[in-house]
Copies of this chain bind each other. A is one copy, B any other.
């Protein structure tokens, strides 16, 4: 028996979640109907409503998955042995790379907040992600600048995401990445 992992047959739930993630993110949440999702996932409508009682539940589940995936992605490129300034700059650079690769369609959570203002479960998923984001940036900074710097870097990260979405180019993000690097670096030096 080869060491390849036996690929478990994708359950309907997983197929739905994967397809929903792709369509919600690339075409928008409201622009993506249930029928489109189940057709592309190759799953019956009954199965969809068996796993998710409503579209809102599916959106919320998508966002929870997205938060987990985001944390995993940013951790994968995080060199924890590097200086805080470089770790933070790396977070921004990774975003710029995504823009250059043409795979960026805005922050999934900002998009959801705007597209689904009247869905409590969706808003809850967004709040939960915001906490994860805050904690991760605090982790990257590892004490430099204290809580105020965490807050400010978070705002700047929001700006990088929004600006990338609206302009479609990575230039501004790369510039701000360097800016943040110098900012954190000087704070660290002042603190030392």
Q: Which A residues contact B (CB, under 8 angstroms)?
A: 27-28, 30-31, 106-107, 109-111, 113-115, 117-118, 126, 130, 148, 151-152, 154-163, 165-167, 172-173, 175-176, 179
Complex CA–CA separation, A167 to B130 (angstroms): 9
What residues of chain B lie closer than 8 Å to A115, measured between beta carbons?
Answer: 28, 30, 114-115
A to B CB contacts below 8 Å, 14 in the list: A27-B117, A30-B30, A31-B117, A114-B114, A114-B115, A151-B175, A152-B175, A154-B163, A155-B163, A156-B156, A158-B158, A158-B166, A159-B160, A159-B162
Assuming the A-B contacts A114-B28, A165-B113, A166-B130, are A155 and B148 also in contact, with contact meaning beta carbons closer than 8 angstroms in the complex? no
What residues of chain B lie closer than 8 Å to A109, measured between beta carbons?
Answer: 166
What residues of chain B lie closer than 8 Å to A111, measured between beta carbons?
Answer: 114
Kindly report which residue of chain B lies nearest to residue A133, judged by CB atoms: B166
What residues of chain B lie closer than 8 Å to A166, measured between beta carbons?
Answer: 109-110, 113, 126, 130, 158
Q: How far is the CB of A18 from chain B (nearest CB, A)?
A: 22
Kindly report which residue of chain B lies nearest to residue A27, judged by CB atoms: B117
* Inter-chain contact B159/A172, CB cutoff 8 Å: no
* Inter-chain contact B160/A155, CB cutoff 8 Å: yes
Q: How far is the CB of A67 from chain B (nearest CB, A)?
A: 14
What residues of chain B lie closer than 8 Å to A172, measured between beta carbons?
Answer: 151, 154-155
* Inter-chain contact B156/A155, CB cutoff 8 Å: yes
Q: Which of A106, A155, A166 has the most C-beta atoms of chain B within 10 angstroms of its own C-beta?
A: A155
* Inter-chain contact A175/B162, CB cutoff 8 Å: no
* Inter-chain contact A152/B126, CB cutoff 8 Å: no
Kindly report which residue of chain B lies nearest to residue A159, judged by CB atoms: B159
What residues of chain B lie closer than 8 Å to A155, measured between beta carbons?
Answer: 156, 159-160, 163, 172-173, 175-176
